[in-house]
Structure 1
Amino acid sequence: MRGNGTGCRSEQKISSPNQDERPEGETISVVVVHGITLPPGQFGGPWIRQLFTNTLDCAAHPFFESIRHLRVSAHALIRRGGEVEHYVPPHRRAWHAGISEFRGRSACNDFSVGIELEGTDDLPYTPEQYRSLAGLVMELMVRYPAITEDRVVGHSAVAPQRKTDPGPAFDWGRFYRELAKLRGDAP
């Protein structure tokens, strides 16, 4: 995943050890949009990066002790300012969806790309995040034609009993308008 051609998206690669090979012959066909903050409700800081790289300082905040055991990752994280951090190449399996199902298929990590947005269920995401997300999704749709608009879903859609993110604060209409602009079919 690279820039969207506008030059307005800062990107950084950081390798997560929490990845592996996808099953042989698997087609990448879904994008799962997540929301994350560490500690909960706080933005910025090194904590998400540390979580995804198994270097989280559990003494830095009381909440961190409760997630000490987690080994998770995402393909990308979009910070509040729209900056993108890439953790797992899209052709590899990131550990983001957990126990999940999409249209009758379980184990969504096998066939999806996970994109985390730094945010919460109840605070608006930023315009920069919507632009960066649309740019990443457009790149993925070009690279993996099985990904279509109806296959870009929230974590809550694939794990509804466990997850609520990206939450009601995520404006799907705004995301689709940004995607339409990149395709050139927006008014």
Structure 2
Amino acid sequence: MQILHGWLEHGNRSDCEHFDQRPKTNGSYDINLLVIHNISLPPGQFGSDHILDFFAGKLNPQQHDFFKHIYQMRVSSHLLIRRDGKVVQFVSFLDRAWHAGLSSFQGRTRCNDFSIGIELEGTDNSPYSNEQYIALAKVSQTIMHHYPDITLGRIVGHNDIAPQRKTDPGVAFDWCRFRQSIC
């Protein structure tokens, strides 16, 4: 697996307009944090294309009551890893996806400016699939190779950068298994 011009080579892409340019530091991008999230739409349900629609700004509020509360939100992530391990990329790593919201890591705010966001299709309390762990390890290793400032200590959950607001990837995420798989 390779990254070319911010995109996973031979990866699956999905339309997304919810992103903008990252700020540059001394003329280059400062990408040094990987943030792991979870998402399911509707909550607790897997396998539909509602997440893709949500990130594309095309979520139909008539399809589920929950969607009426979120369909106008402008959010995105760089990647989604489906339950079957399929990886979908929405935003180039060179651009700023809108996944972290109000956030801080080691005293630095606005984590979207310097992070890559990966969504796992799941919930805080549902075990993630073996295929997801395999895909997450492969993608993480590729990202770490391409962006060497992202080290093991700079891979965090959304709960770590927004602890008062977020709980994902949740208690079901096996950090030990994941860390061992990328070492």
Name the TM-score, length of structure 1 as normaliser: 0.90
Q: Who is 2:94 aligned against?
A: 91
CA shift for structure 1 position 74:
0.3
User: Would you say 1:169 and 2:175 are equivalent positions?
Assistant: no
For the residues of structure 1 that align with 2:22 and 2:105, how far apart are their CA atoms? 17
1:98-119, CA deviations, whole angstroms, 9 ceiling, x for partnerless residues?
0000000000000000000000
RMSD of aligned residue pairs (Cα, Å): 1.4
Structure whose residues are more often strand by fraction: 2
Q: Who is 1:21 aligned against?
A: 21
1:63-110, CA deviations, whole angstroms, 9 ceiling, x for partnerless residues?
000102210000000000100000001111000000000000000000
* Residues 2 and 136, structure 1, Cα contact 8 Å, conserved in 2: no
Runs of 4+ in structure 1 off by over 6 angstroms are none
* Residues 73 and 87, structure 1, Cα contact 8 Å, conserved in 2: yes
For the residues of structure 1 that align with 2:125 and 2:75, how far apart are their CA atoms? 23
Aligned length: 174
Query: What is the identity, as a one-letter code, of the residue corresponding to 1:74?
Result: S
Q: Who is 2:75 aligned against?
A: 72
For the residues of structure 1 that align with 2:15 and 2:159, how far apart are their CA atoms? 26
CA shift for structure 1 position 32:
0.3
Q: Who is 2:45 aligned against?
A: 42
CA shift for structure 1 position 178:
1.5
Q: Which runs of 5+ in 2 are unaligned?
A: 4-9
Q: Which runs of 5+ in 1 are unaligned?
A: 4-9, 181-187
Q: Who is 1:142 aligned against?
A: 145
Report SS of the residue matched to 2:88. Answer: strand
